[in-house]
């Protein structure tokens, strides 16, 4: 797996490079600002980009805006936001874009909650392979913005809970263990979710990711 890192803290940036390299990840570029990030993605076409939200020069949401640009310009590149903050202004746009065969995945993890480098690398692999990896706190805040969407309103409370765990990248077996129910029961919930969100079976096999994105893409206004 080939990765680009965008992090303005030199200590954290170098630390990520070393940790990922030890885990067999090839870091093809490690940069400190959004402009250099876009140039690195264009040059290297990595499998995924790890991006902090607040990058120079403004240290506000430059990284997140660059991530949205990557999703639009290089859709095969997975994007993993790795930040201290939950920024909803562009997050729904980021998570709602892309999708389809060959598209990279999306992730949004909070730095303070990632205590196991193995979990972080696993999340990065999921994103590079077109899946999702979302921190529960990110899901909670974005769900507050998305809950008014009519299609989502059709879901039962348990179906919303299942979809929330799907957004975290959880498989059916893991979801079943969380609710102490059978995997078959979870499969039924997932089928109902697909039906209510208007996601029929397809050869592409991306319904799970599309359901998560539908869950997150509702307008915040």
In this structure, the answer to whether residues 11 and 115 fall within a common structural domain is yes
What mean pLDDT, rounded, does the chain reach? 82
170 Cβ contact list (under 8 Å, min separation 6): 178
Contact 133, 168 (CB under 8 A): yes
Q: What is the per-residue pLDDT across 143-162, written as a single tens digit (0 to 9) for each?
A: 655 554 556 778 898 998 89
CA-to-CA dists, residue 121 to 16, 19, 116, angstroms: 11, 9, 9
Q: Which of 4-13, 76-85, 157-166, 200-209 has the lowest mean pLDDT?
A: 200-209
Contact 81, 89 (CB under 8 A): no
In this structure, the answer to whether residues 47 and 125 fall within a common structural domain is yes
Q: What is the per-residue pLDDT across 73-110, written as a single tens digit (0 to 9) for each?
A: 999 999 999 888 777 766 666 766 555 555 678 888 88
What are the residues facing 4 on neighbouring strands?
Answer: 29, 49
Q: What is the per-residue pLDDT across 171-197, written as a single tens digit (0 to 9) for each?
A: 889 899 999 999 999 999 988 888 887
Tell me, what's the pLDDT at 119? 84
Mean pLDDT throughout 17-24?
93
Tell me, what's the pLDDT at 117? 85
**Which secondary structure element, helix H or strand E, spans residue 94, and what is its range?**
helix 88-96
Q: How many CB atoms lie within 10 A of CB 77?
A: 25
Of residues 170 and 186, the one with the higher pLDDT is: 186
Return the beta strands (E) in the chain as ranges.
2-6, 26-31, 48-51, 78-83, 106-110, 132-134
In this structure, the answer to whether residues 108 and 27 fall within a common structural domain is yes
d(C-alpha 182, C-alpha 101), whole Å: 30
Domain end: 103, 134, 165, which one? 134
d(C-alpha 175, C-alpha 55), whole Å: 35
Whether omega for the bond prior to residue 139 falls within 30 degrees of 0, making it cis, is no
Number of domains in the chain: 2
CATH of the domain at 145: 1.10.10.10
In this structure, the answer to whether residues 101 and 196 fall within a common structural domain is no
Instruction: Read off the pTM.
Output: 0.69
What is the DSSP secondary structure assignment for residue 157, as one 8-state letter? H
């Amino acid at each position: 797996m080939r990765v680009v890192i965008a992090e303005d803290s030199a200590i954290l940036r170098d630390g990520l490079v070393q940790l990922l390299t030890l885990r067999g990840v090839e870091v093809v570029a490690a940069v400190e600002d959004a402009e250099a990030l876009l140039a690195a993605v264009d040059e290297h076409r990595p499998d995924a980009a790890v991006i902090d939200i607040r990058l120079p020069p403004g240290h506000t949401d430059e990284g997140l805006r660059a991530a949205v640009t990557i999703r639009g310009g290089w859709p095969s590149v997975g994007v993993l936001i790795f930040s201290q903050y939950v920024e909803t202004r562009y997050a729904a746009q980021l998570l709602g874009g892309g999708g389809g065969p060959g598209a990279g995945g999306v992730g949004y993890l909070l730095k303070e909650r990632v205590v196991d480098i193995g979990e972080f690398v696993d999340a990065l692999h999921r994103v590079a392979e077109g899946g999702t990896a979302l921190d529960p706190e990110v899901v909670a805040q974005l769900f507050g913005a998305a809950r008014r969407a009519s299609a989502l309103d059709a879901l039962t409370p348990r179906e919303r809970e299942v979809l929330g765990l799907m957004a975290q990248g959880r498989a059916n077996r893991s979801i079943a263990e969380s609710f102490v129910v059978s995997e078959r029961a979870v499969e039924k919930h997932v089928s109902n979710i697909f039906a209510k969100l208007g996601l029929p079976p397809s050869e592409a096999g991306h319904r799970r990711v599309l359901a998560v994105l539908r869950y997150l893409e509702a307008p915040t206004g």
